[in-house]
Amino acid sequence: MFALLLGKELNENKKREEDYSVQNCIDIVDTIEELTDEQKTDCNELFQSEMNRQIFVGTKNPKVRLIWLKKKKISG
């Protein structure tokens, strides 16, 4: 029983890590039409921080994501 619970927890942790992966963040940024290619490149630096990745992915409203990105760092 313990092994089953541990396995389930490990799978959930892996899924969370994938959700907040740098690649997932980059994929999301690539869909934001309001950003220039240069701005999208600037976003990559933000995703070196796990906290930034969690905030970015956790923000579901696309307009709020864009505002957050612009306030954080990207040049315009």
User: Tokens 């070196």 map to which residue?
Assistant: 48
Using alpha carbons, list the distances in angstroms from residue 5 to 1, 11, 16, 41: 6, 10, 17, 40
More confident residue, 69 or 12: 69
Nearest in space to 34 (alpha carbons), one of 59, 56, 64: 64
Instruction: Say how many domains are in the chain.
Output: 1
What's the pLDDT at 12?
A: 59
Which residues constitute the domain of residue 62? 2-72
Record the pTM: 0.74
* Distance, CA of 35 to chain centre: 16
Q: How many helices (H) and strands (E) does the chain have?
A: 5, 0
Task: Extract the tokens encoding 20.
Answer: 């907040």
pLDDT tens track for 22-49? 999 999 999 999 999 999 999 999 999 9
Computed on alpha carbons and rounded to an integer, the radius of gyration of the chain in Å comes to 15
